[in-house]
Amino acid sequence: MIALDAMGGDFGPEVVVPGAAISLTRHPNLRFKMFGDQAQIEAELSKHAELAACAEIVHTDSAIAMDAKPSQAIRQGRSSSMWLAIKSVADGDSDVVISAGNTGALMAMSKLVLRPISDIERPAIAALWPTVRNECIVLDVGANIGASASQLCDFALMGAAMARALFHVDKPTVGLLNVGLEEIKGAEEVKQAHGILQGLDALPIDYQGFVEGHEIGQGRVDVVVVEGFAGNIALKTAEGTARQISQYLRDAMSRSLMSRVGAFLAQGGFRTLKAKMDPRRVNGGTFLGLNGLAVKSHGGTDALGFASAIDIGQDMVESGLVGRMRTDLHDFHERLSSKLAS
């Protein structure tokens, strides 16, 4: 059962409902609980008969504004579509919540309602990142600023559990994002995390050591671990660079008649490129490390993008991600403590 915050995002039910309809064609067994304004949701559902047959509406009078402060949302938003959708996961009525709403509010509410897994201190936001090989997972991309060595190790295990769920690899490769300059060799916490991950045998990950920024897109590892400030900046910088080069390309192709003719003939190639670079393919930031799954869709995405976020959520549910992550983190902390004690 998938809980949808139908009022989240820039477009609410107009994108959420058709998004669910797309996802249903890919996963015919899906069932949805849609939280939000009944009349608006019904109006959209009336256009999607198959979806309507497997969707249940939970009416809510209020929704969290996109610009609400998280603290305010938590105090005043307990009858909102977002809160009730998250709560349905905590209550065991749904397996995952998907929202395109206010990121800060979703993070704060998810932490409060779903609670972090007992062995970890902090959840993280994990992003799917397209690479020349396929995709990788980068975390944390902005749940927190800074991370201790032990938190970075938690992120490594959490990201690996997600990679196992989405990429179907048994022992995902993991790297710590670092700077390569000889004279500094990275932040203390990153070096300490490196020591811990290298020092423990039989972890459920294939630890590859440090990776640098340019290696993310090369797909050198399945999971890239970094604290949230640098991780968020890396993600946004990559998105900005992709947009920048698209603009260069458009400008370059329109500057002469010959280029325009060539670009017209090569339009099949350009379509392939566009599909490859389509941000909707990898839409969805996952809150990892909670006792329940929450996926954040981009607020401005369309139905196709929202469907990707649902797909990611469903893949994680099917693989039993939360249970596996709990076990992995518990084992890791047990072994780390016994190693430190000996």
**Which one, 81 or 232, has the nearer CB to a second copy?**
232
* Cis before 140? omega within 30: yes
Q: Which of 324, 227, 221, 238 is nearest to 282 (CA)?
A: 238
Structure tokens at 82: 């977002």
**Which one, 103 or 308, has the nearer CB to a second copy?**
103
**Which one, 28 or 268, has the nearer CB to a second copy?**
268
**Which one, 113 or 165, has the nearer CB to a second copy?**
113
**Which one, 33 or 111, has the nearer CB to a second copy?**
111
Q: How far is the CB of 10 from a second copy (least distance, A)?
A: 16
Whole-angstrom Cα distance, residue 310 to residue 96?
Answer: 9
Q: How far is the CB of 299 from a second copy (least distance, A)?
A: 12
Q: How far is the CB of 292 from a second copy (least distance, A)?
A: 19
**Which one, 198 or 241, has the nearer CB to a second copy?**
241
Q: How far is the CB of 219 from a second copy (least distance, A)?
A: 9
Q: How far is the CB of 123 from a second copy (least distance, A)?
A: 12
**Which one, 49 or 184, has the nearer CB to a second copy?**
184
Q: How far is the CB of 100 from a second copy (least distance, A)?
A: 15
CA angle 220, 224, 226 (to 5 degrees): 145
Q: How far is the CB of 140 from a second copy (least distance, A)?
A: 11
At 28, give phi and psi (nearest 5°).
-65, -15
